[in-house]
Chains A and B, each alone.
Chain A
Amino acid sequence: MSGTVTIEVPAPQPEIRRPDGDPGGADSLAQALYATAGRYEEFADAGEGLRDLSGWWGSAYTAYQEAAGTASGEHVSLARTVKRVANAVTAYADTLRDLLRTYDELRDRRTALDGDRADLIADINATTDATPSDISALQARAAYLAERYQALVADHDSWLRQVTANEDLLRHTFESATGLGDALSEFGGLSDLAQSAICKVGSPMSGASPEQVAAWWEGLTDAEREAVIAAYPDVIGSADGLPASVRDDANRVSLDGDLARLGAKEDDGTIDSSERDALDNARKTEEALADADAFTDPITGERPGGQLWLYDPGAFDGDGRVAVAIGDLDTADDVAVFTPGISTDMGDVVSYANDMQHLYEATRYNGDGSSVATMFWLGYDTPSGPIDWATLTEGRAEDGGRRLADAFDGLRASRGDDPAHLTAIGHSYGSTTTSYAAGSFDLDAEDVVLIGSPGAGPSDEASDFSVGQDHVYVGRDSRDFVAFLGDEGWVGKFGIGLGTDPSSEDFDATRFEAERPGRGATPIDGGAHSSYLAHDSESLYNISLIVDGHGDQVNESAQSYDPWYGEPEDPEWTRDPSSGVPGRSETREP
């Protein structure tokens, strides 16, 4: 018996059109706008500077002063508005780039499906005397094809909404700064969407907790999220509780803006010293991010990417605040946060970001396969060194400890139901800062590592730390003079350090091997204090195990001690150190 069987082959869909717009063109517009904002700022500065003139008085002078003040203030407002519009254009360009990548993916999927569809039709046409099994197989292929076309349609619809939202957001931003009245207003350059979103309960501008900020973000629509990133990049970029990817997007908008606006001022010859510091900091950050983005995972060969978690180049009198991560802080199984010590400023970000690559690489190389992210965190004002009176107190360490604990709370809140294994690593004065975080401000980490420590600040024993004694690790090179300063023994060292020596028996943390070949014969060996993150070092090897969640596998070393009858003793002084030895100090593929 013969008959006709109908196989319903789905129609090809959807029609995918490339979104209008050119990211490069938008970037050029943003550059021009940033330069314009810079010139308004210059005029405002000049107007303010010329308000007070000597040798002129009377009513005409009074009128002049008022006019100069008004003009200056209006130009400040204009600069602010134009900068906001430029930020919006930069964010538009960034989003458009993402959308174009998605466009390519959608188009590739459509091409593949159309190919499968053509194959199916050809097979149907070629089939004669089909058995029930043949018919069933063809029907199954058609149904599967229809399912995939429907999934593509759904993804395309979602993508199209983002395209529209991106265009609407930029249009609304332009409309909010069209007239002179708008441009001079407090809200010039701010879209209504951004303003309404930032006023909702839990916004980072309301003083909300990291958990509340995280909930606020979850409650926003995609369009609102894009709007607040574009309108308030400074706020979003430093808001504890937000996903790291969001902070990264916002901070890259701010970075692009600073490079363009301050670069234009540099070209004009009107840049002042504080702006020069900020521009230098921005350029170093750009370089560090480029290196981070180009870094490849030693196991997979893929690029985990960099994230700009904190960016404030003008903070702390020009020293700046910055945090650069290697890997994805939103998804990594193991996350390490490194706090630097004395004399570190934002100009050091390239070197420290490179050290974070070392830590990432070592952790992956010697790890258990878990994903990793490592972050250099300069979120506090480190003492500048010998000429900074702040060096004479622990005030900066205490303030930094509070900020560090807040940063960890933010990381925790941003991960919701997907908590990471968090490790806090503090070096030098940064170890005292970390000790304040863990000893006084309930640092929410799993493990703490102190290296090259001059003292554990407020804590006399490892058990004082929030993570518990078993999760406190200490690395001390026996030639490290700074690490020699910590107090130990019943006589002590007359308070010459910044608290108890965490490598000592008194403190009773887990001390790991951290010696170097070629070490000096005396403790005055600068390399000893600065080499804890060098590749193929004992120190980096052991830290990488802790970051990976296997602190129980570190190569332990004996604690220092202070016998009542003599000077403090360090058993590591005479041990032969290693470098690049598997299982002890190998941190990468040779």
Chain B
Amino acid sequence: MVGQRRSRVWGAAAMLVAVTLLGGCGEPDEQQVRDSVAASESSVKDAVNEIHEALGASGLEFESASGEWESCRTQPEPGFRFYASGPLQDNGEDPAARVQAATEALERLGWSVTDAGSEPRPYATLEQGESTLTVAESKVNPGSVSLGVRGECLDSTQDLAAELIGESQQLLP
């Protein structure tokens, strides 16, 4: 049954308060956001290079890696983050062994495992500070293993989102 129309003025007012509390009072300072953007992008790129070097010992370094800014939150608190990913080299081991080897190497770099498993495909998720990471056998190309690093979700502005989102960067090789 469709309920009777009710005057929910107080309800909407509560939502108004909620949106205000959640960050609906205008955009953040653009220069501060730019500073955060530069720091976060640099942090993810450094992590990719560090991982690339560490995995090289077991023949699992990145084949290639690219990065881009993407939306991670909508209104009323819009945000974006830098995301870098790419396939790993095939060292001849099976995918589960490669995921395991990569995970162990990442733990040595200071990443902490938050989840891991083998169904429906071998995978592990890890975190370090505000960054998170997934390494898993590919669903699109079974037999290959890919790794993706997500940076911190930062407050964004409309202009910066328009400027940065959609611009892909080749990080490796």
0 or 1 for each of A541-585: is its CB under 8 Å from B? (1 = yes): 000000000000000000000000000000000000011111100
0 or 1 for each of A267-311: is its CB under 8 Å from B? (1 = yes): 000000000000000011001101100100011000000000000
Contact between A526 and B22, CB atoms less than 8 A apart: yes
Instruction: Give complex CA distance A481, B8 in Å.
Output: 17
Chain A, range 356-412, C-beta contacts under 8 Å to B: 358, 365, 385-386, 391-394
0 or 1 for each of A298-326: is its CB under 8 Å from B? (1 = yes): 11000000000000000000000000000
Given A350-B158, A355-B71, answer yes or no on A530-B78 (Cβ-Cβ < 8 Å).
yes
0 or 1 for each of B120-137: is its CB under 8 Å from A? (1 = yes): 110101010000101110
List A contacts of B153 (CB < 8 A).
527, 531, 534
Q: Which residue in B19, B114, B123 is a CB contact (below 8 Å) of A343? A: B19
Instruction: Give complex CA distance A291, B77 in Å.
Output: 22
Q: Is B25 an interface residue (CB 8 A)?
A: yes
Q: Is A57 an interface residue (CB 8 A)?
A: no
Question: Of all chain A residues, which has the CB nearest B78?
Answer: A351
Measured CB to CB, the closest approach of chain A to B139, in angstroms, equals 7
0 or 1 for each of A342-354: is its CB under 8 Å from B? (1 = yes): 1110011011101
Q: Which residue in B11, B24, B85 is a CB contact (below 8 Å) of A498? A: B11
List B contacts of A482 (CB < 8 A).
15, 18-19, 22
Instruction: Give complex CA distance A285, B26 in Å.
Output: 21
List A contacts of B132 (CB < 8 A).
517, 579-580
Q: Is A496 an interface residue (CB 8 A)?
A: yes
Contact between A527 and B77, CB atoms less than 8 A apart: yes
Contact between B166 and A291, CB atoms less than 8 A apart: yes
Measured CB to CB, the closest approach of chain B to A398, in angstroms, equals 9
Interface of chain A, main secondary structure: loop
Contact between A495 and B8, CB atoms less than 8 A apart: yes
Given A458-B3, A526-B22, answer yes or no on A498-B12 (Cβ-Cβ < 8 Å).
yes
Q: Is A529 an interface residue (CB 8 A)?
A: yes
List A contacts of B76 (CB < 8 A).
341-343, 385, 428, 526, 529-530
Q: Is A536 an interface residue (CB 8 A)?
A: yes
Measured CB to CB, the closest approach of chain A to B56, in angstroms, equals 19
Contact between A583 and B120, CB atoms less than 8 A apart: yes
Instruction: Give complex CA distance A202, B128 in Å.
Output: 61
Q: Which residue in B25, B119, B158, B166 is a CB contact (below 8 Å) of A348? A: B158
Measured CB to CB, the closest approach of chain A to B119, in angstroms, equals 7
Q: Is A459 an interface residue (CB 8 A)?
A: yes
Q: Is B117 an interface residue (CB 8 A)?
A: yes
Chain B, range 8-30, C-beta contacts under 8 Å to A: 8-16, 18-25
Show 11 residue pairs from A and B whose CB-CB distance is below 8 angstroms, ordered by the A residue. Answer: A343-B19, A354-B70, A392-B9, A458-B3, A497-B14, A498-B15, A527-B77, A580-B123, A582-B117, A589-B148, A590-B148
Q: Which 4 A-B pairs have the closest CB atoms?
A: A291-B166, A590-B148, A580-B134, A530-B73
B residues contacting A by CB (< 8 A) are: 1-3, 5-6, 8-16, 18-25, 70-80, 83, 85, 114-115, 117, 119-121, 123, 125, 127, 132, 134-136, 138-140, 146-148, 150, 153, 156, 158, 161-162, 165-166
